[in-house]
Amino acid sequence: MKLEKLFAIGLIAVLLASCSGNPVVTCYRVDPLTKVFPENTAFRKAPDTLDAGGNTHVEFQFALHSGAAVEDFTVECGDLIGPDGERIPAPRCGVVGYVGVGDVTDNPAHDVLRSHTGMYPDPILEQDTYDFDPFVTFCPWITVFVPEGTKAGVYTAEVTMKGRTSGRRFSYKEPIHVKVWPVDMRTPDFKNVNWAFDFEHCLKLWNAGQPVEKFTEDHKEYLRQLYGMMAECYQNVTMIPIWNVVEMNKMEDGKWEFDFTRFDEYVRLADEAGVLDYIQIEELGHRLIPNWTAPMGLFVPYEKDGKMEKENYSPENPLVRDFLSSFIPALKAHVEELGWGDRCYMKICDEPVDENAESYKKAVALIREYWPDMKVLEALQTTKVTGAVDAWCPQLNYWHEHYDFYKSRQEAGDEMWFYTCCYPRELYPNRFIEQPLLKGRMLFWMAHKYRADGYLHWGFNYWVGDPFEETSMPGTGTLLPGGDSWLIYPGYRKMLRSIRFEQYRDGIEDYTLLQMLAEKDPAAADAFANTLISNWWVYVGNTNLYRQTRRDLLKALSE
């Protein structure tokens, strides 16, 4: 027998022995802040112990790779057991799915993530069993929630991952450890809103392609699930629609009548889900023509073929006053009757800029004739609407560029929010699929550092096409990058988290912990934020430094 053949046989024997009976399956522990691509096969060592406080979450991730197809894969984990037998309830277990990004972002940051396959990790699939193609790395994802009042100490559980490949069963048992510090996070009160959608195409994707009629029990179930997902990431401001929801009729005598019955259903379901500390009312107008610098107008409804449509007019048009002089007092009275009068924000015309600031101010002034103490929360890119808005919400880069102005408005008593959407890009943090997961958390450390009152994003579930096949908005080129339009995914009559969703939630938890420390020791809280956020463009990308800083934050709170 030739020496080369003997060497090959010996190498195979070593490989078989090293895999503990799993001849073609490898298993690695991977930091959950690491995005694993289907082609990845080697990873940095990740910690097996993560830090938490009561009422917070931590995640664990494993990466498995097989040279042959895997069938009937399962991932399970029981309760975590503490030193004296105390328990943390069994975590949620799933597997990270892959989605397509067809149009990559232009002007990306230096740390942009690129996939050779065009497939990126994002949705968390929750199934009884899973099947995987050969040579594709797949990642079990474990989410642990530590209940309030959990006794301090290290809690341990075993994650069991097993399946079948090449006609043989394989199994891995890997421990996870959570160190619980003696601190309970309070319920987050940081104001945040993601705009959620129940458009026809969204409803169909949730219902396996079959239409869902509005205002039926199926539609209400969709809204319950949607608001439930928002509650999981601590959303407490929810936009309530009015167009095609409030019934609006102009009578023969010229008077308007309004029926808020369906509006009330949205309010009731959002309130029951716990995402309605504040209402944001759907926008009342838009640009008069599809041009970024075009003047702002206001909508007037009309009936066409038995359905309500709306037309956009200049604020000076008599039709606008005729409608708003009836609608705004009716809306004001109804919102106050529901008990949200002092917790209601109006959205007038989205994203005003310098060129249309004057027309925007005219629109607000007209509406305030009928609701003088109305509060306006607006995503914007201008400093020229002082007096028209109560809660300024500039795009992150615009906030940076005009920080002194917005700080002065906050000192004058206005609220200071910020938003991200398809922009900003370059070095700014955002929550695109192509960006490292840690950026999603850094948004909220930045919120603490620069004293934001709230955060807004437009796309919670604006699903189009096949949301798993293509996540950059088809037909828009690089305008709407992968993940910008949605943070969750549609399953069959259910909704799925994403790994970006988990970081959004955890980022708000981090912010809340910082705020809790700031009430005891403001300088210490700022020092922690400054450790991770040097400025708008320079912030930590090192997961080890992030974890150490968060651990020190929990330690400081426990003292």
The domain limits of the chain are 23-184, 191-497
Report the candidate in 425, 435, 426 with the shortest Cα–Cα distance to residue 541.
Answer: 435
Neighbours of 330 (CB within 10 A): 16
Q: What is the pLDDT of residue 139?
A: 98
Q: How far is CA 177 from CA 16, 80, 144, in A?
A: 29, 8, 10
Domain at 23-184: CATH code: 2.60.40.10
Q: What is the pLDDT of residue 9?
A: 37
> In whole angstroms, what is the distance from residue 16 CA to residue 25 CA?
10
Report the candidate in 174, 157, 177 with the shortest Cα–Cα distance to residue 27.
Answer: 174
Q: What is the pLDDT of residue 233?
A: 97
**Alpha-helix runs per DSSP H in 339-419:** 357-368, 396-401, 403-411
**Could you tell me which residues are beta bridge partners of residue 120?**
99
Query: Taking a C-beta distance cutoff of 8 angstroms, is the pair 323, 297 a contact?
Result: no
Half-sphere exposure of 478 (CA within 13 A, CB side): 9
Q: What is the pLDDT of residue 252?
A: 87
Neighbours of 29 (CB within 10 A): 19
Residue 226 per-residue DSSP state: H
| Multiple choice CATH, 191-497, 3.20.20, 1.10.3470, 3.30.160, 3.40.50 | 3.20.20
Query: Taking a C-beta distance cutoff of 8 angstroms, is the pair 443, 420 a contact?
Result: yes
> In whole angstroms, what is the distance from residue 420 CA to residue 399 CA?
11
pTM listed for this prediction: 0.94
Query: Taking a C-beta distance cutoff of 8 angstroms, is the pair 488, 500 a contact?
Result: no
Q: What is the pLDDT of residue 198?
A: 98
Q: What is the pLDDT of residue 23?
A: 54
Low-confidence ranges of the chain (pLDDT < 70): 1-23
Q: Does 191-497 match 23-184 at the fold level?
A: no
Q: Which two tokens stand for residue 60?
A: 């664990």
> In whole angstroms, what is the distance from residue 205 CA to residue 195 CA?
18
Start-to-end CA span in the chain (Å) = 69
